[in-house]
Structure 1
Amino acid sequence: MESGEAISNVRSAAEAVDAPDDSIASLHSIESLCMRCGENGITRLLLTRIPHFREVVLMAFECPHCNERNNEVQFAGELQPRGCCYHLRVMGGDRKMLDRQVVKSDSASIKIPELDFEIPPEAQRGKLSTVEGILLRAAEELQALQEERRKVDPETAEALDRFLIKLKSCAEGNVPFTFILDDPAGNSFIENLFAPSSDPALTVKFYDRTPEQQASLGFLAESTAGEEESEPHGGGEVRIERTKKTKYIPAGTRRESHGSIGAEGGHRAIAQGNSEEIAAALFKYSAPEEVMTFPSTCGACGARCETRMFVTKIPYFQEVIVMASTCDSCGYRSSELKPGGKIPEKGKRITVRVLNTEDVCRDVIKSDTASIKVPELDLELASGTLGGLVTTVEGLMTKIRENLERVHGFTLGDSVDNWKKTKWQDFNSRLDQFLKVEKPWTLIVDDALANSFVAPITDAIEDDHQLTFEEYERSWEQNEELGLNDMDTSSADVSYTC
């Protein structure tokens, strides 16, 4: 195996690292201290990448004096833009649930609410295992010092014995429990047995890291108060200044000319008498003349960067806020589209019937709260899976495929079962047919906050018979997930009326 070569069989790679064959060129052997006997052992390192997953460092330690052996997986790739949290509901008596593969990074924690049990990040290093393997490893580590604990604190040892019975019962699949994997770095995964379809027992949520989580990962995370105290007049503070009524602008914000669109672009086109530029500048989107630029923090490396923002009005839709960030330190770039105005009273379901190549070129705005469904593919993505996107129908489907291949890399290697491989190959071939519009298909965008939009291909939206908009009343569960049930705006309403 050459250095940097992609591997598709993780088990073979791990065994290669553990093998005492120094002839493998990509392996690096170093002498390291054995923590059991105090003698020197050998640690073998292999830097490689798992297809559709991450660059990883596989490490295997062996001590020839006491035969101590262990292995670890450390991530050599970049920090993901957002953290992830996996909730797996394990039913009693189902062994397949316990055999799911789990990738746990160094920063991930594992919880079992039914046992009030948590495995902190430092307790188990990064590893590739299964649900059963992680629980059995935790039980072994708790059992290790039980004999010494009985001599010092018999009551605690007896309580721990009772707890170990419950933990091993979960590891054997005798009782139902919930397996929660939370990773602020976003580098952990739990296998989806139904990929590319949704897994009824597995839910995934992505979230923005807090400053505390950012600091725990070793990146810069300064609080607002600290910045104001250390740099009260500097160029990087985020002190808030009040201007008019409800408009709040961060300190250090400046305005830049937007250029070719908006009022300035329209004035230039009118002055030059260019009718095509007038139409392009004034009638597609109404954008502002100025873009607001304010200091922010990179979501990948934590360094200071700039975020550009402007408000625009999309015809047949609503006012939206477009934000884009670029980090000069690590090169990370991101763009977001946020809804403007009040929260709609009803949700919106958009259905697009794709019949020709013109349909896959439609502009699509997908918000954080929108879910995607393609009935012909048996494909369904929960809300928040891809975040907010501004793209086309073709770009959306391509992004979905890339995301599925990245998240479900377990099902794409040589060691995978034939039926799983055939299922993925069939999914990719049908998706290619849909993108080439060899067959008609349907795209459904369901947004409980009605902040998503698909552009019509006709001048008047009423004449586009392949595009339908349906409003519906949100359920109590949807309002609860969005935090609307407990929202009280009475105080704000009174202040606005004064």
Structure 2
Amino acid sequence: MVESEPNNFFPKIGQVAEKTNALEDKDFPEQSNEEDEDRAVEEIGSLCMSCGEQGVTKLLLTTIPYFKEVIIMSFRCEHCGTSNNEIQSAGSIRPEGAVYTARIQNREDLNRQLVKSASCSVTIPQYELTIPPARGQLTTIEGLLRDIVTDLSAGQPLRKYQDENAYTKIQSIIDRARAILGDEEEDEEVTGPKDPRERTDIFTPFTVQLDDPAGNSFIEFLGSTADPKWNLRTYVRTHAQDVALGISAPDDVDVESNRDAIKRMKETLDKVVADQSGGEIKDDEIFVFPGSCSSCHQPLDTLMKKVNIPYFQDIFIMSTNCDACGYRDNEVKSGSAISEKGKRIILKVEDREDLSRDILKSETCGLSIPDIDLVLQAGTLGGRFTTLEGILDQVFEELSEKVFAGDSADSDDRSKFGKFLSDLKAVKNAERPFTLILDDPLANSYLQNLYAPDPDPNMETVMYDRSWEQNEELGLNDIKVENYSADS
């Protein structure tokens, strides 16, 4: 029995365009019922809120490649000229929020397609500009910039006399956006060419970031997800974001009073556990340190727990989560004495299974991948306890955001770094084999052995004597552990 194909309610945009062009090419005096059914766009009579007359809303159900199904709506009133367009997701809210980042390096990047849902905020760090959530929109990066110029320019004449400082800052954003769009070039026919030192129409790279707790926004990548100027990061939504999306009920109780009560209860339990353990820290013991969030300055708790890593040693994991703004951080500290020797771990990564290995990278550990000339000095990223895939994702995000955010590098340097990020993306997706090297002079780092307690055929561990320079950098040459009360 042959199964019937399901109704395709959400055809791709390309299919809709081809179908529309085919219908427009036909020469017919009247549309038949069959041709009406072939129309991709539905038209519905709607009341115009500006003049009260009857307007028309057009609906298009379509699929954006590599993204999802959406509903595009366009309203126009022929009586007063009012028009509006909006986009809505036709799917469900995703389990996690999403942050899409695109580095706009040249004018070709302005053509990247952009989907902004009603719950999405847009940030351009170089402009110190954040656009709060508003109506859904299907546009391009260029269209987004033109909307920014239009919206910000609307109140500038009045703002110039009411708040000159705000006017100056906003005008700076408008001028930079117009320079990228090339709008200033049209004025040269009247005013003449500008001095090169005064020109502002030279393209300046910038970054566009979409942060959508619902995960229903999107920025187009070029070619494939290996695009070095494109990145996607997902995150767990906070309770406040769930409430804003309407998928969770707000708390009816006093959060601050509950926070104080829980803190007092935890302090009491900690004292009881400390008395019962005779001062020794147990593996299941959690210490609570009250403090404030470094991002929003709201009160929060930092939790610390001792964890025993099999075939390694004890470590302390410190975790900070802010319920107010969603800030999260974790730090790892060694729970054992200073090792007499340093440790170097060499792993040959061959497939995605190796990316799931647990990794503990201490503050004194350096990380390198010779295959792509990646070298991270000790102290980079701090102490981390995650997976190999997780730490490579962190490296990619940190390097791409910080390097592409600047505008001083020349095109050759940016081309070389784009190639490096492409290689790094291939490495973190295990699309090619590579060698990972962890070098920790204090031997406080760890990489999971999948064959433990037997030797791992893809991993080599080398213990070595620290040099005098390494001991000096770590402050070990001046440490005296015997007869320390006597004169040195």
TM-score for the superposition, normalised by structure 2: 0.49
Q: Name which one, 1 or 2, has greater alpha-carbon Rg.
A: 2
